[in-house]
Amino acid sequence: MKKTVENKIENLLRKAEKLIGACNYQDAELLLNQVLEENSDETEGHYLLGGVLCKQSKFSLAVDHLKKALYLSPGHPRVLHLLGWAIFLNGDPDSGRKLILQSVEKLPDAQAYCDLAVLENQQGNYDKAMEYALKTKEIEPENETVQEVIGVITFCRKLREQSLDSIH
């Protein structure tokens, strides 16, 4: 009987991943909720659901599921990263930054560094943002997203300099 439930959960998780890949977040959310009804301690279910909820701008709910995933899998770098990102998007950049930094200490990841660059840029820390963007570029030189992020950082820095010049 236990094996049947495990197989059902595994099948639901794989179907949810396919839906996520197709950007069908609402249906993926439904499947992942089914997974968690079968086993509320399914780490991957909480992690994937947290990501799906982030994609739907349901950051508070995402944080709840990602905290549960982190509880079930303490220190997991991907969970730390996504939880940090969700917390940042939910309005707490300092706590989000700390978690993402913990994640890159364990697993230097291009996406995590790129997210740190976005966070720092949003906070007006352009030098730090560029530092993280360049780390992303070191890890994945062909990463198109980091090229966009570098462009945004450069643009924001120039805007700030122009506004400061106009004040003086």
pLDDT tens profile 1-44: 577 878 999 999 999 999 999 999 999 999 999 999 999 999 99
Nearest alpha-carbon partner for 118 in 100, 140, 106: 100
Over 60: is that where the pLDDT of 98 sits? yes
pTM score of the predicted model = 0.90
CB 133 within 8 A of CB 117: yes
pLDDT of residue 52: 98
User: How far is the CA of 45 from the CAs of 38, 50, 141, in angstroms?
Assistant: 10, 8, 32
Dist CA 62 CA 83 (whole Å)? 8
